[in-house]
Amino acid sequence: MDKLVVPQNTIEVLQKYQFRFQKKYGQNFLIDTGVLERIVRAARIGKEDCVLEIGPGIGTMTQYLAEDAREVIAVEIDKALIPILEDTLSAYENVTILNEDILKVDLRKLVEERNAGRPIKVVANLPYYITTPILMSLLERRIPLDSITVMVQKEVADRMRSGPGSKDYGALSLAVRYYAEPKLVGNVPPNCFLPRPTVGSAVIRLDCRKEPIAEVSDEKFLFAVIRASFNQRRKTLLNGLGNAPDLGLDKEKIGEALSQMGLSSSVRGETLTLEQFITLANKLKA
């Protein structure tokens, strides 16, 4: 099978199966060899690796992954793509195709069965409309993961990598950094896809943490504090947390915790580091 990343080959396959792009699935297939090779290099796939690919499309990236990995599990939600994948990947005996919604797959069971519970690597060209739910689901479920290398909307990549004081800094930045170390692989222009998206894209690699960045007394409470801090980001932390009904905190207690940390009562959430949020949440929980 010729490589699908060549635009002519992609078009031939789509025409052969009379495939129609589904807007609800956010389908944009990669047609740039240089970008594809860069993604695979960034994922650092080795012969012993089990790789989970989310949204393989017609199998463009799957072909490359299958040549480098021990096994590839490709999860595709669009049933119209399954016969195409069975055709384009028929030469690869180490690929398993699942017609499933990735948010509903028992990934822990999958990792146990296919990789004896050892960490797997995730590679994906994620649909932009559901990028954050998929990423957070992967991270929050504590599945054994080595790394996640994904194509996302550039704006989302900026938010994942941003630090305190940046306009892009927010709850997503902190959540990603809590579970992983984000690294930008590179930006990708719209002309690298078929059909062309209306926005720029970026490839980002998340190296998943083996140990927590700091000791947290209550993770659920920590992220409730973070969300409340950014729900109205121009408000002070004192007001943002004090007015959050689900936290049930009085302002005196919040002010006392901030004072113990050497922070002003007028400080805003957008200026705190992840470590400071953890310290604050631990104090408020205590």
Claim to verify: residue 83 and residue 155 sit in the same structural domain: yes
- pTM for the structure as a whole: 0.93
Quick one: pLDDT at residue 212? 85
Claim to verify: residue 167 and residue 276 sit in the same structural domain: no
pLDDT over 90 (residue 286): no
Claim to verify: residue 11 and residue 133 sit in the same structural domain: yes
Claim to verify: residue 266 and residue 193 sit in the same structural domain: no
Claim to verify: residue 33 and residue 137 sit in the same structural domain: yes
Number of domains within the chain = 2
User: Is the CB of residue 62 less than 8 Å from the CB of residue 226?
Assistant: no
Query: pLDDT tens-digit profile of 134-158?
Result: 999 999 998 999 999 999 999 999 9
Q: Which long-range contacts (CB under 8 A, 24 or more apart) does 265-269 make?
A: 265/236, 265/238, 266/236, 266/238, 267/236, 267/237, 268/233, 268/234, 268/235, 268/236, 268/237, 269/226, 269/229, 269/230, 269/233, 269/237, 269/240
Confidence of residue 25 (pLDDT cuts 50, 70, 90): confident
pLDDT over 70 (residue 1): no
Claim to verify: residue 113 and residue 249 sit in the same structural domain: no
Query: pLDDT tens-digit profile of 60-69?
Result: 999 999 999 9
Structural domain including 128 reads 7-208
Confidence of residue 234 (pLDDT cuts 50, 70, 90): confident
Residue that is last in its domain, among 208, 232, 254: 208
Claim to verify: residue 104 and residue 151 sit in the same structural domain: yes
Beta strands 120-125 and 145-153 are: parallel
In a domain, 2, yes or no: no
User: Is the CB of residue 133 less than 8 Å from the CB of residue 139?
Assistant: no
In which residue are the tokens 């936290």 written? 247
Residue 152 C-alpha from the chain's centroid: 8
pLDDT over 80 (residue 45): yes
| Measured distance CA(80)–CA(254) in Å, rounded | 53
- Pure H helices in the chain: 7-16, 33-43, 60-68, 82-88, 107-115, 131-140, 154-161, 171-179, 219-231, 237-242, 251-260, 274-285
Structure letter (DSSP) for residue 221: H
In which residue are the tokens 């119209």 written? 80
Confidence of residue 49 (pLDDT cuts 50, 70, 90): very high
Residue that is last in its domain, among 208, 237, 253: 208
Quick one: pLDDT at residue 128? 87
Query: pLDDT tens-digit profile of 72-122?
Result: 999 999 999 999 999 999 999 999 999 999 999 999 999 999 999 999 999
| Measured distance CA(62)–CA(53) in Å, rounded | 7
Claim to verify: residue 154 and residue 110 sit in the same structural domain: yes
Claim to verify: residue 80 and residue 174 sit in the same structural domain: yes
Cis preceding-peptide flag for 197 (omega within 30 of 0): no
- What 3-state class would DSSP assign to 229? helix
Which pair of tokens denotes residue 239?
């007001």
In a domain, 108, yes or no: yes
Residue 238 is part of a domain; what is its CATH number? 1.10.8.100
In a domain, 263, yes or no: yes
In a domain, 214, yes or no: no
Claim to verify: residue 189 and residue 169 sit in the same structural domain: yes
Claim to verify: residue 132 and residue 35 sit in the same structural domain: yes
For range 1-12, the mean pLDDT: 90
| Measured distance CA(67)–CA(64) in Å, rounded | 5
Residue that is last in its domain, among 170, 188, 208: 208
For range 7-11, the mean pLDDT: 95
